Structure 1
Amino acid sequence: MEHDMDEQIPSYVYSPIAPDDFRVLKILEVHPQIKFSLEAFSIYEAPGYEALSYAWGTSPEMEESLCNGARFRISRTLGQALRGIHAHSGGGWIWVDAICINQTDAEEKAHQVAGMGELYSCADQVLIWLGDAADQSDLACALLPELTEKIWSLKDSEGGWRPLSTDDIVAQGLPHPDDPLWCAALLLYSRAWFQRLWIVQEVVLARACVFLCGLQQIEWHVVVNFAIATSKSFFVSNIAGLHIKAMGEDRVSRSTNGIRLIRNSRRLKDSLEDDEKEITGLQATMDIMQSQGASVKVDYVYAVRDMLPDALRDQMVVDYSDEIKRNYGIIHARFFRQCLERLSDWPSLRFPPNAGQKNIPSWCPPWGSGWNYSYLPIIGCHAGRPAAISPWSSSDTVQEIVPFSPVFHGSTNVLDVRRILRAIKACSAHISDGADRHERLLGVLIGQCGWLKSPQFSGRPDGDVLDGFVSFLEHLAANKEHEGDADPVPVNLDTAEYFLDQHRFWRAYLNLIMIRWPGRSFALTTNGRMAIVPCHTKPGDTVCVFLGGTLPQVLSRHEDGVHWKYVGPSVVDGIMEGEVFDTKEEWIHNKEIFFLK
């Protein structure tokens, strides 16, 4: 009988709204069925309201709700979010994108999406729904503020983060590294909300925001400070490796991504409050676009539009027409080109190469392809002198490739010392004799040819640098404790800290190897230069110096014989410090122009 009555209730039909209007809802009941009222107001005369931020999810499950007395189908995920925030919202007006925007009207959706930044910035606060309680989240939420404060206490008097033993960590009042509390805290950052691209503007533009998980509530600054602290402390950042079996490899990866997202969101929020940090904010935006997910390709640009500089934002017109969705590469390329003009540098964006996606040019990043290290972050590298960003000049050709074996074990994410040793010895066998060849090789392998000028390498050990590093690695590799195990396991944290504290020089080097090597190969050029290049570089590819750029770039000839394809950034010994501009070679006066496709 009740089912028959539901069938007789008409479905809700949206009424058109004026350009300056937006809808908000008020939750009336959540049990047994969600009931809410929906009204439209002018953005200039709207009542106070809160905005909901949640993960839409991909589940097809739906449930029936009542909107102004009419049937309204919502996703099961949204239903859980509305029930979850009801106890926290105080019964006031709430803006929820999935309901307050007519998702079936492309014109209205485009107009409303273009104004979403203003809607979030005008809200009294943003309610961030992480989901129901699970994985000891109640305990993690309750103790996260105290845990964060104690991690920050690990800073030394000079502002650095000293390495500590387990006993020291416990003495500071922190849980033992094996304590499940660490796992529970890290699992919070692995939740679906932290994997979305749209959530960035929802927190960056908010006046205030609060995280809700089950019945628990966490302030924004606590979530931010924990994310920053875990990345600053070498000891704490390695604790996740001890909980891989409990968390699972996928959730460890998602947790790492979530922590990085919060850090980048903080950078972006700071940049919007300080005009001098515009470039920092734009680079943070690029990192976010690379690592986060969006269900519609054009949303990789639209989701960050309201956080862009005014001149760039005005050129990104929101359009959800079928034609634009099919040709999303046009939007991506237009956006990235505008970014290049503002940054006046290509590799500082630190994106992985676009490996054959036909819908976008080779020089445009494959947004949302997942965070990986198939690129070279810039630390202390300076190619050439400041100049205009065009034209460019060809300088050398790749002759020989020596691929790196993966230095991480796939299932445990453990750095494999033996593989590093094999790679270094293989590279050494391919370089010519010379008084400084070992030092130059190490500089290339860490992607930092000017490495001796860097603060982290100021305490260089005496004697042959390469021999010293090889001896250090052989000492670690000689540990027979786990010999014969099917999978490598992490070294005990205390043991690792002992070695790394004794060899601060090598700690900095290993940190760079973890960033530089995955997805890359060692190479020799026809002029005898050593280089690190993208792993899909082929013999015959061209190494170019882009005037005004930061790193040499590798290009490959396009099949049409006229254009070139962008392969990726490289580190090349001998042309990293502007040496080519000190020569009187004829090519400097006959620059070449490469047309990228």
Structure 2
Amino acid sequence: MPNIYSPLPQNAVRLLRFTSDAGSQHLECELAIFPLNMAPKFNALSYCWGDVDRSSSIRCNGHQMSITPTLLEALRDLIGLDRGDIEWIWIDQICIDQTNVAERGIQVNMMKAIYTTSERTIIWLGPRINGIEAVGNLLERLSQLYDQDIDPSGTRKRRRYTTDEHKAMDLPHYKDLSWVSLNYILSRPWFVRSWVLQEAVLSKVTPQMLCGTQELPWELILRSAAWLESYLSGNWNIRSTAMPALRSLILFRESRQEGLPWDITTLLNKARWFKASEPRDRVYSLLGLIGEADESHILPTALQANYNKPVRDVFRDVTRYIIMSSRSLTILTLIRDNPDWGNYPSWVVNFAGYALWDRISYFSWSPHEKGWLRVKEISNKADGGRPVEVQQSSDDILALNGFQVDTVNAVCEVMLGFNLNSFDSHVLVALKEACHRLTDRYTTTEAIARAMMVTLTADWNLTNQERVADQPISHFWAYIREIYLRLHDNEVELKEECANLLAEAESDTTVNANIFRLHLDASHRRRVFFTKDKAYVGLGPSIMQENDILCILFGGATPMVLRPVGDCYRFVGECYVYDLMRGEGIEGWEKGHYTTKTFHLI
């Protein structure tokens, strides 16, 4: 674009301002260069590029500039916005020469400085939605429920609501215009764009969120999202397309509540649901929020934005850096998608991939040695708290110390379904299989049932103080009884098996089957498996298969599933294994029951 972009001096930015009026047919702007520390007051725009084809245009510095149609819509709404005495605005698509790879890298590394220097972040979600005025009262009510059900630390005060409890609540019917409009808002792509986390969180003051020209209350949206995400279960009023937005908004709230910076592991775990058209930006978009920089504000080489570096190498080097610097395998819990072993080593996290199921371990806030916060896995300590042991290897091989516990010799079907009720038949088949395979480890049907109850939920929490393992087994039997009553006459074998199991169970008609059913999230896209020699039962990745091996790798809070390939192994994923989650395997290793081995992951 001749005569528009000239080289940017070091630590300088370009800023934009309108030179035409709101009512003008054609938008005209001025683009100017300023040292960032001497720039005039400016706002920063956060929006979604949409179609990257620059088929629209504005006049900038007297020349035609091609921009995306989405940005043109945003500019038409912004030009009429009351900005007070702030004329200038920073917009990445215009203020960075996107054809200059070197400049892009430099400006990305300056992003934190740009957004913290700006007066405010203006969020533009997209064009106005019909019925948006009806959303305000709904957000007020959801915010009240947040105060009632969630404590200041963000944890639940009570168990999830049952379907009957939902119906009794003072909330509009799911077909009400307020819910319809809220779903449309939350389904906007802005909420899952990777850059928006940094752009919203770094705002000096509360971001200004616009849908068209209609302003939405940022605080109410954050609180409403936190309540909805914590208490969603079964059939509810939020569409699946809006769920990622809830996770994003919770992350915005956490970042403000807990403070910044965070370490890169924390951010990558928390921001797993975001998307970017440029794969490297799944990492680079978070750099302004991390604490890994040295005293000169220089990031480690593996984390510096470099758009000339192949995506594969970026993800490989970031994964290895995190393992080495954290002395933990927590980052490998992000491998929760269908693997692309043809393009990435199995141990490399594809940060541009999409997490298809939830993590097993809980995360809690913990102080980092540098003084800032990070997430730490809690409850599960399969490795006994031992740090990772990495051996020397080539760039594409990760050599980790640990020991093999057993071999997988049976796997159940992958548990798939559109809601938690869809898992019922899977649970029954898995329980039937357990009763045949676990008799050497557990002497009673009740002990087998308890192992299955805890395994199928990965011992998820009901409240901040209660876990599934703390509950009486009668909740699980009530759930099985419900399934039995729904079985059809043509399911004779299952019905007979179920009747035999229930005959051995204590009958308690006062318990609620939903106590178990509502916490089956961990089973989604996982499969129950059994091991060969020691009769362990576990919940593992959907891609696992017979003859995979069950291992404890030092630095891993959960057991891991590996697949032998000659003398090397592929990383299949983490798993939950009843009787191995609190260091029992490490105790056996210390007694000489297992032998340390170096696993070369390819």
Shorter-chain TM-score bucket reads 0.7 to 0.9
Contact 2:414 2:542 (C-alpha < 8 Å) held by counterparts = no
The answer to whether structure 1 residue 19 and structure 2 residue 18 are counterparts is no
Q: CA shift at 1:25, angstroms? A: 0.5
Q: Which amino acid is the alignment partner of residue 16 of structure 1?
A: P
Q: CA shift at 1:470, angstroms? A: 1.2
Match for residue 193 of structure 2? 196
After TM superposition, the structure 1 = structure 2 runs for residues 136-535 of structure 1, keeping only pairs within 5 Å, are 136-140=131-135, 142-152=136-146, 154-155=148-149, 160-161=157-158, 173-208=170-205, 209-234=207-232, 238-240=235-237, 252-273=239-260, 278=262, 282-288=265-271, 290-311=272-293, 313-315=299-301, 316-321=303-308, 324=309, 327-347=310-330, 350-351=333-334, 352=336, 355-373=339-357, 375-378=359-362, 380-390=379-389, 392-409=401-418, 415-432=422-439, 434-435=443-444, 436-448=447-459, 455-457=466-468, 460-461=471-472, 467-475=477-485, 477=486, 503=511, 506-535=513-542
2:80 match: secondary structure: helix
The answer to whether structure 1 residue 131 and structure 2 residue 141 are counterparts is no
| Structure 1 length-normalised TM | 0.81
Q: Structure 2 vs 1, CA of residues 47 and 543 (structure 1 numbering), >3 Å: closer, same or farther?
A: same
Match for residue 55 of structure 2? 62
Q: CA shift at 1:359, angstroms? A: 3.1
Match for residue 49 of structure 1? 42
Q: CA shift at 1:593, angstroms? A: 0.9
Q: CA shift at 1:254, angstroms? A: 2.7
Match for residue 96 of structure 1? 91
Contact 2:408 2:549 (C-alpha < 8 Å) held by counterparts = no
Match for residue 39 of structure 1? 32
Q: CA shift at 1:132, angstroms? A: 1.0
Q: CA shift at 1:578, angstroms? A: 1.7
Q: CA shift at 1:528, angstroms? A: 2.0
Q: CA shift at 1:459, angstroms? A: 6.2
> What whole-Å deviation, never above 9, does each CA across 1:189-248 have from its counterpart, x for those lacking one?
11011121111111121112111002211232222111101123347x84236xxxxxxx
Q: Which amino acid is the alignment partner of residue 481 of structure 2?
A: S
Contact 1:264 1:285 (C-alpha < 8 Å) held by counterparts = no
Q: Distance in 2 between matches of 1:182 and 1:161?
A: 24
Q: Distance in 2 between matches of 1:194 and 1:68?
A: 32
The answer to whether structure 1 residue 539 and structure 2 residue 533 are counterparts is no
The answer to whether structure 1 residue 571 and structure 2 residue 579 are counterparts is no
Q: CA shift at 1:338, angstroms? A: 2.3
1:44 match: secondary structure: helix
Contact 2:541 2:572 (C-alpha < 8 Å) held by counterparts = yes
Q: Which amino acid is the alignment partner of residue 191 of structure 1?
A: R
Contact 1:407 1:417 (C-alpha < 8 Å) held by counterparts = no
1:392 match: secondary structure: strand
Q: Which amino acid is the alignment partner of residue 581 of structure 1?
A: I
Q: CA shift at 1:568, angstroms? A: 0.5
Q: Which amino acid is the alignment partner of residue 336 of structure 1?
A: T
Contact 2:51 2:68 (C-alpha < 8 Å) held by counterparts = no
Q: Distance in 1 between matches of 2:593 and 2:429?
A: 39
Contact 2:156 2:230 (C-alpha < 8 Å) held by counterparts = no
Q: Structure 2 vs 1, CA of residues 135 and 382 (structure 1 numbering), >3 Å: closer, same or farther?
A: farther
Gap regions ≥5 residues in structure 1:
1-9, 242-251, 481-500
Q: Distance in 2 between matches of 1:304 and 1:328?
A: 16
Q: Tell me whether 414-423 or 104-113 shows the greater mean CA deviation.
A: 414-423
Match for residue 397 of structure 2? none
Q: Distance in 1 between matches of 2:182 and 2:341?
A: 37
Q: Structure 2 vs 1, CA of residues 146 and 479 (structure 1 numbering), >3 Å: closer, same or farther?
A: farther
Q: Structure 2 vs 1, CA of residues 87 and 148 (structure 1 numbering), >3 Å: closer, same or farther?
A: farther
Q: Which amino acid is the alignment partner of residue 200 of structure 1?
A: L
Match for residue 6 of structure 1? none
Q: Tell me whether 303-312 or 582-591 shows the greater mean CA deviation.
A: 582-591
Match for residue 393 of structure 2? none
Contact 1:521 1:533 (C-alpha < 8 Å) held by counterparts = yes
Contact 1:443 1:450 (C-alpha < 8 Å) held by counterparts = no
Q: Which amino acid is the alignment partner of residue 370 of structure 1?
A: Y
Q: CA shift at 1:462, angstroms? A: 6.3
Q: CA shift at 1:376, angstroms? A: 2.7
Q: Structure 2 vs 1, CA of residues 210 and 282 (structure 1 numbering), >3 Å: closer, same or farther?
A: farther
| Structure 2 length-normalised TM | 0.80
Q: CA shift at 1:63, angstroms? A: 1.6
Q: Distance in 1 between matches of 2:488 and 2:187?
A: 33
> What whole-Å deviation, never above 9, does each CA across 1:95-120 have from its counterpart, x for those lacking one?
00000111111121111111011101
> What whole-Å deviation, never above 9, does each CA across 1:276-329 have from its counterpart, x for those lacking one?
xx46x74243231x32211122212111111121348343222222xx1xx211
2:599 match: secondary structure: coil
Q: Which amino acid is the alignment partner of residue 563 of structure 2?
A: S
Contact 2:382 2:585 (C-alpha < 8 Å) held by counterparts = no
Q: Distance in 2 between matches of 1:199 and 1:21?
A: 22
Q: Which amino acid is the alignment partner of residue 148 of structure 1?
A: L
Q: CA shift at 1:349, angstroms? A: 5.9
Q: Distance in 1 between matches of 2:324 and 2:515?
A: 33
Contact 2:118 2:204 (C-alpha < 8 Å) held by counterparts = yes
Match for residue 486 of structure 1? none
Q: Structure 2 vs 1, CA of residues 166 and 461 (structure 1 numbering), >3 Å: closer, same or farther?
A: closer
1:88 match: secondary structure: coil
2:242 match: secondary structure: helix
Contact 1:354 1:362 (C-alpha < 8 Å) held by counterparts = no
2:38 match: secondary structure: coil
Contact 1:374 1:519 (C-alpha < 8 Å) held by counterparts = no
> What whole-Å deviation, never above 9, does each CA across 1:386-413 have from its counterpart, x for those lacking one?
222126322333232232353414xx78
Q: Distance in 1 between matches of 2:181 and 2:11?
A: 44
Q: Structure 2 vs 1, CA of residues 144 and 14 (structure 1 numbering), >3 Å: closer, same or farther?
A: farther
Task: State, as a whole percentage, how many aligned pairs show the same letter.
Answer: 22
| Larger helix share, 1 or 2 | 1
User: CA RMSD for the aligned pairs?
Assistant: 3.4
Q: Distance in 1 between matches of 2:558 and 2:584?
A: 13
Q: Distance in 2 between matches of 1:438 and 1:164?
A: 25
Q: Which amino acid is the alignment partner of residue 438 of structure 2?
A: I
Give the aligned length. Answer: 540
Q: CA shift at 1:43, angstroms? A: 0.8
Q: Which amino acid is the alignment partner of residue 519 of structure 2?
A: L
Gap regions ≥5 residues in structure 2:
363-377, 390-399, 490-508
Contact 1:385 1:578 (C-alpha < 8 Å) held by counterparts = yes
